[in-house]
Amino acid sequence: MTQLEMACKGKLSPQMEQAAEHENIPAENLRLLIERGVAVLPVNVKTPSLVRDFRPLAIGEGLLTKVNANIGTSRDFCDVDYELEKLSTALAAGTDSVMDLSTSGDIGEIRRKIRGNCPVMLGTVPIYEAVCRLMEEGREIGDMTPEELFAIIEGHGEEGVDFITVHCGVTQKSIENIGDRLTGVVSRGGAFLIEWMRANKKDNPLFTRFDILLDIARKYDMTLSLGDGLRPGSIADATDIPQIAELSVLGDLVKRSRSAGVQVMVEGPGHIPLHQVEANVVLEKRICDGAPFYVLGPLVTDVAPGYDHITSAIGGALAAWAGADFLCYVTPAEHLGLPLVEDVHIGVVSARIAGHAADIARGIPAADQWDAKMSSARYNFDWKAQAELAIDMDIIHKVRERCPLEDEQTCSMCSRLCAMKVARGKGK
Amino acid sequence: MTQLEMACKGKLSPQMEQAAEHENIPAENLRLLIERGVAVLPVNVKTPSLVRDFRPLAIGEGLLTKVNANIGTSRDFCDVDYELEKLSTALAAGTDSVMDLSTSGDIGEIRRKIRGNCPVMLGTVPIYEAVCRLMEEGREIGDMTPEELFAIIEGHGEEGVDFITVHCGVTQKSIENIGDRLTGVVSRGGAFLIEWMRANKKDNPLFTRFDILLDIARKYDMTLSLGDGLRPGSIADATDIPQIAELSVLGDLVKRSRSAGVQVMVEGPGHIPLHQVEANVVLEKRICDGAPFYVLGPLVTDVAPGYDHITSAIGGALAAWAGADFLCYVTPAEHLGLPLVEDVHIGVVSARIAGHAADIARGIPAADQWDAKMSSARYNFDWKAQAELAIDMDIIHKVRERCPLEDEQTCSMCSRLCAMKVARGKGK
């Protein structure tokens, strides 16, 4: 049985218990959220046997905002050990989830290595592997048979992938107006499917044969993450007709997934200006019946390559406050290249900042207690406690040792003119 | 005559013409905003003779969001040449304003050097110099005479300081409830005045003798930036009684300033959770009759030392969208030490991202055209144009040369699987 089927039968799974403990809520509350489909608990039935100390987490309504880190090889930059280093970096930085988006090398082998070393939920985009295999064989994207694609998806199920991105909403109908766009299609998976549809003059097999996908997903309890293949790649394309057309398709597929006992969440944009972020969340929640919303960014401006961890922290905070449940990190390397280990680190930290800021704003119980503890340590000049409480535990020491300090309690910003001391009559 | 007095008489100054050109609005429109006091144009009457190619900018309602960079020495870290390097770094990164917050060394000499090399508006906090002089003379903060403080303020006027932070709202009444706070007082200027009031058992001379301040400010057309000495230093203290009590005092002083022909803006917090940011802007605009709002951050969480350029970019974007006019940058060094040159760079870029994201959301005409140009260059794989349009012009090249590229057009993220190529039938 999937977590959804168990929830619908009133049964509490061990994973529900663990995930509820993480949220500090009764397991029964979490079960109700999963039953309604407004929360998912992505854990492949194979995962517990493949990973030591796997930490199940739920994603959805009223729960702590979760953060995902994308790793994986590309053709220009293919080093498996380096990807494993990114994995451990992302985990150390506190990611709640990892997606392996490898598109080069022995993708199966890379995924198995990542899975074995990844105690948090793991996601993939199976069509990447399908297309890469075609390339290796000298075949075109249009040559892919639906059977090949489903076989790969089944393989991901066998190997303990907890959730998969499937761009089922990229259909002949939803792409009708993409010619009006400034930046066309910026989703790799979406682009592959469009190329396939063009070559075969047929509709997207992930849409036309959605029931096959549901069968596989149910078998392994792989959560479907319905991809936004038509997400806007620029502010100019935000919240446009193709994006909404795709979302409408996804809303229908959410209902079909739930009826089949398959856990499902929905992916969202992308490049969205600040004033459209909330509307995008409201729209997804309305059209997709409250399904957990997994956003990539959103990036609130296009002009800051090299700083898209910041543009997306702004958008992510706002989105999560409005109800988005799961933030995919964006690193400083976005739009420029494959991220390095240091990009992974700052990407996770930035997304966690956005998520936590939103958790405070949403009134998630005790979220702001973390801040109160930190501020109390700050007010008491307890640098050890500050380092332990900081979202990045190493950084305080690094910055403080940059110059000799006159007073060990204060910092080089104000030295003995520290306001917190002066105002208490302790400074001079 | 001050810019405000000229505006009230229907006169267009050369600075209004230049500032309006920067905004791409008719000078008459800007004059009307200045007349109403909802915009300021900080330019000391001495400035044009002291600085070559000074670029006057206005701050206020409906104008582009402006960004300030704080530089200046501290006792632990006092190197004038290094501060001048920070100045040129901040200017190169595109700051609209600089504040010299030096608290060590020959503060007058440092300020004059900065002024001579600073073609954008320059602000200071005169009480820092007053207190540092006392320290040098072995005197206590309480020993400062109001006359000494006003003499220093007059000196800043003589030397072409365009705006000064004066913590006039820190009064015996407004500090009544600071004992209830988690983090007390975190403004240096505020703390100095509280110490002075305690030692002298008298109220704040910047409040009791506000008319003297107005006389000096009018003489030089130094814009008053009414400081938020009681800004919250933690999420827990946000939007509390002392903060609002101080703001109420400032609202009254705004009216007195305008009546005296003195340009005035109001400083704001600080540490504010996401869901209270808009309320803080609304409150300032209401209580202070639409006076331009100059915010420090706001920081939307306390737990991310080392990343407060990000926590403040989130808060700053939201604040500016809600109507804040002027964002003081926060660097990664905040709460930990004096910023280095690289912190200054990323601080300015982060604040500019926040301001620009807000300008798009506020519908500032043509703000999103920058994004459209960038995205068009991106879609056309025009890396030269992207570098020229990027908020940080050097970064694209830096990231792209990190690994050899199979295809000069694409990047190492997707290589030949680039969605923008594949979806157009150009990839493989």
In DSSP notation, A25-72 reads S-HHHHHHHHHHTSEE----TTHHHHSTT-----EETTSPPEEEEEE-
3-state secondary structure of B425: coil
Q: Is the pLDDT of residue A428 over 60?
A: no
Measure the CA–CA gap between B262 and B215, rounded to whole angstroms: 9
Quote the CA–CA distance of B53 and A104 in Å, as a whole number.
Answer: 54
* Interatomic CA distance for residues B79 and B40, integer angstroms: 33
Residue A186 with chain B: CB contacts under 8 Å: 419-420
User: Is the Cβ pair B233, A420 closer than 8 Å?
Assistant: yes
Render each residue's pLDDT in chain B as its tens digit; 428 residues: 999 999 999 999 999 999 999 999 999 999 999 999 999 999 999 999 999 899 999 999 999 999 999 999 999 999 999 999 999 999 999 999 999 999 999 999 999 999 999 999 999 999 999 999 999 999 999 999 999 999 999 999 999 999 999 999 999 999 999 999 999 999 999 999 999 999 999 999 999 999 999 999 999 999 999 999 999 999 999 999 999 999 999 999 999 999 999 999 999 999 999 999 999 999 999 999 999 999 999 999 999 999 999 999 999 999 999 999 999 999 999 999 999 999 999 999 999 999 999 999 999 988 999 999 999 999 999 999 999 999 998 899 888 888 888 888 899 999 889 999 998 887 54
Kindly give the pairing relationship between strand A264-268 and strand A293-296: parallel
Are A191 and B131 within 8 A, CB to CB? no
Q: How far is B391 from chain A (nearest CA, A)?
A: 5
Helix (H) or strand (E) holding A327: strand A326-328
Nearest alpha carbon to residue B5 among B257, B266, B326 = B257
pLDDT tens figures, A14-44: 999 999 999 999 999 999 999 999 999 999 9
Q: Indicate the DSSP class of residue A271.
A: B
| Residue found by looking up tokens 């005559």 in the block | B1
State which residue of chain A sits closest to B70, comparing Cα positions: A413
Instruction: Kindly tell me the sign of the dihedral angle through the C-alpha atoms of B194, B195, B201, B203.
Output: negative
* ipTM of model over 0.95: yes
For chain B, the residue count is: 428
Beta bridge partners, A164, equal A124, A224
Closest CA in chain A for residue B313: A314
The amino acid sitting at A378 is R
Closest Cβ opposite residue B423 in set A185, A314, A412: A185
Q: What is the mean pLDDT of residues A300-309?
A: 98
| 3-class SS shares of chain A: helix, strand, coil, % to 5 | 50, 10, 40
The answer to whether residue A404 scores a pLDDT higher than 90 is no
Structure tokens at B405: 């590229």
List chain B residues with CB under 8 Å of A423: 178, 184-185, 190-191, 194-195
Considering only CB atoms, which chain B residues are within 8 Å of A191? 419-423, 427
Q: Nearest by CB to B370, which of A303, A332, A362? A: A303
Give the 3-state secondary structure of residue B327. strand
pLDDT for the residue A324: 98
* β-bridge mates for residue B165, sequence order: B225
Shortest CA gap B238–chain A (Å): 12
CATH 3.20.20.540 assigned to B41-363: yes
Instruction: State the pLDDT at residue B402.
Output: 86
Contact B399 A425 (CB under 8 A): no
- How many CB pairs below 8 Å do chains A and B form together? 374
Q: How many CB atoms lie within 10 A of CB B3?
A: 28
Tokens of A15: 């994973």
The H-or-E segment that residue A118 falls in is none
CA dihedral (B338, B344, B349, B353) in degrees, to 10, reads: 30
CA distance A131 to B340: 47
3-class SS of residue A383: helix
| Alpha carbons within 13 A on the beta-carbon side of A308 | 31
Q: How far is A238 from chain B (nearest CA, A)?
A: 12
Query: Chain A contacts of B318, Cβ < 8 Å?
Result: 274, 314, 318
Of the candidates B409, B406, B404, B427, the one whose C-alpha atom is nearest the C-alpha of residue B417 is B427
Q: Which residue of B79, B196, B274, B376 to mutate against A (max A Cβ within 10 Å)? A: B274
Q: Are A85 and A71 in contact (CB under 8 A)?
A: no
Both tokens assigned to B354: 């926040």
The three-class DSSP label of residue A94 is coil
Are A235 and B77 within 8 A, CB to CB? Answer: no
Q: Quick: pLDDT tens for A165-221.
A: 999 999 999 999 999 999 999 999 999 999 999 999 999 999 999 999 999 999 999
Residue A427 has pLDDT above 80, yes or no: no
Q: What whole-number distance in Å separates Cα of residue B326 and Cα of residue B329?
A: 10
Give pLDDT, residue B427. 55
Pick the residue of B125, B375, B380 with the most A CBs within 10 A to test the interface with A by mutation: B375
Report the sign of the C-alpha dihedral through residues B27, B31, B33, B37, in that order: positive
Calculate the average pLDDT of chain A: 96
Q: Which of A191, A350, A386 sits opposite B305 (nearest CB)?
A: A386
Q: Which residues of A touch B353 (CB under 8 A)?
A: 301, 304, 307, 310-311, 314
Q: Which residue of B has its CA nearest to A182?
A: B376
- Closest CA–CA distance from residue B180 to any residue of chain A (Å): 13
Which residue in the set B300, B392, B423 is minimally distant from A194, CB to CB? Answer: B423
CA proximity to A216, closest of A179, A173, A166: A166
Under 8 Å between Cβ of B309 and A311:
no
CB distance A303–B191 less than 8 Å?
Answer: no
Could B419 and A379 be called an inter-chain contact, meaning their C-beta atoms sit closer than 8 Å?
no
Among the partner residues A310, A379, A423, nearest to B191 by beta-carbon distance = A423
What is d(CA A222, CA A264) in angstroms, rounded to the nearest whole number?
Answer: 9
Cis peptide before B298 (omega within 30 of 0): yes
**CA pair distance B24, B191, nearest whole angstrom:** 41
Contact call for B413 and A336, based on CB within 8 A: yes
What are the structural domain ranges in chain B? Answer: 41-363, 366-423
Q: Which of B273, B337, B371 sits opposite A235 (nearest CB)?
A: B371
